[in-house]
Amino acid sequence: MTDILKAQNGRNNQSNFSPLHIAGGTKKRNHFKLQFMPELLSLNIEPNWLIENFIERDTTGVLYGQSGSYKTFLALDWCLSVATGKSWHGLDVNQGLVVYVAGEGNHGVQKRVKAWLKHHGYNDGSEVPFAASNQRVAVLNTEELSVFRHQLDQIQEPIKLVVFDTLRKCFGRGDENHSKDMGEFLDYIENIRYDYNTTCLVVHHTNKSKVIRGSNALESDVDFVYKLESKQKLSCVLHAEKLKDSDAPLPKQFDLNNVYLGSQKGKPINSLVLEPADYNQEPETCKPQGIRGIVFDYILANCTAPMTWTDLISGLLDSNSGSDDEQLTKTNIRTALNGLKDNRTPLLDFAKLNGQNAVRAVSEG
């Protein structure tokens, strides 16, 4: 992994500037601190955005979607907006260095980066503070993680964003479906976030039910979750499913445009870039999928009056509403309810009933 960071040209009057320095060193983690009332009340409660309204600084989150939904294009769109300081489709960004762990190597990333830079008018991107790995980092592999952290230790400027694309490629040993293994993976990601005062993004896939794959610990333990859907070729829609401390933004739709990069042996070399498009809300794209969809349908059919989550879970399990390929449990139903609540799902009203979480269906009027 010694090539994770590429040298950048023309900075600090050096011909081959890199944000690496010779001395390495290991950071010591000691983040615990009690904050008494004066200090606690003095803290800034305003969101500190990395990307305005979408990603707060010092958070960990997930971007997920089916294969072919253009996840990497969106992730790179976020990354390069932050690295260049260019607004993300009209929204302010907090500019700074970005580290991108390319799980499948950086050959495809290089072409997409070149297309983004050309499309946005950067004739020379050598001074853009962006670094991509030449291979994956298996986070649960001690040796690979140690090499990666050693590279990060050598960076002299603040790291604003670290991206792992994808979770499957960067997971390492263990099983992403087991909460213990997923919890350990997230602990290591959180340590990177704390130690380097940065923001972390994990790119991930859906399962066969089109919901986020793997253990429920992933969705419940991160600060934000975005789902990217592609219903037609060269088009995608970004949905906010969870923002821990802020209101979820409205869905954002993009078209993907071709950018010509040159030719080889008479064949054109092209890549794609995102361009904002008018959001066309389709009922079938808005309805929750998978276990969330099952819970959503049950609420609409059975909860015209407020019902506690405990009673809802019991009734849903007794009704055998799950499809053959969905195994309903108390845990994944409660996770689905939290997701529906965090996403402010239309037609559902979440409140309290006798001190317990409750929900009811509301009419479209």
3-state secondary structure of 79: helix
pLDDT of residue 10: 39
* Two tokens, residue 14: 């050096």
Q: What is the pLDDT of residue 247?
A: 86
Confidence at residue 142, expressed as pLDDT on a 0 to 100 scale: 95
Instruction: Check if CATH label 3.40.50.720 holds for domain 37-277.
Output: no
H-only helix segments in the chain: 37-42, 71-84, 107-119, 142-153, 167-171, 179-195, 216-221, 283-286, 290-302, 309-319, 330-342
Q: How confident is the model at residue 326 (pLDDT cuts 50, 70, 90)?
A: low
What is the rounded distance in angstroms from the CA atom of residue 107 to the CA atom of residue 267? 18
* % of the chain with per-residue pLDDT over 90: 63
Domain 287-361, second-level architecture? Orthogonal Bundle (1.10)
Residue 210 vs residue 224, higher pLDDT: 224
pLDDT at 17 over 70: no
Would you say residue 35 has pLDDT above 60?
A: yes
3-state secondary structure 265-298: CCEEEEEEEEEEECCCCCHHHHCCCHHHHHHHHH
d(CA 242, CA 61) in angstroms, rounded, equals 9
Q: Half-sphere exposure (CA, 13 Å, Cβ side) for 5?
A: 27
With a cut of 60, say whether residue 20 has pLDDT above it.
no
Percent of the chain with pLDDT over 70: 87
In the predicted structure, residue 8 carries a pLDDT above the cut 70: no
Check pLDDT > 90 for residue 73.
yes
**What does the mean pLDDT of the chain come to?**
87
Q: Indicate yes or no: pTM above 0.85.
A: no
Question: 354: pLDDT confidence band, cut at 50, 70 and 90?
Answer: confident
- Backbone φ and ψ of 153, nearest 5°: -60, -30
More confident residue, 283 or 144: 144
Question: CA 289 to CA 295: how far, in whole Å?
Answer: 10
pLDDT tens-place string over residues 146-183: 999 999 999 999 999 999 999 999 999 999 999 999 99
What pLDDT shows up at residue 364? 57
pLDDT(353) > 90: no
Q: What is the pLDDT of residues 242-262, one digit of tens each?
A: 998 888 899 999 999 999 999
Question: What confidence tier does 28 reach under pLDDT thresholds 50, 70, 90?
Answer: very low
Per-residue confidence (pLDDT) for residue 344, from 0 to 100: 75
pLDDT in tens, 213-229: 999 899 989 999 999 99
Contact 174, 139 (CB under 8 A): no
Token digits for 248? 């979820």
Judged against a pLDDT cut of 90, whether residue 271 lies above it is answered with yes
Q: Quick check: 329 pLDDT over 80? A: yes
Domain ranges of the chain: 37-277, 287-361
Q: Is the pLDDT of residue 357 over 70?
A: yes
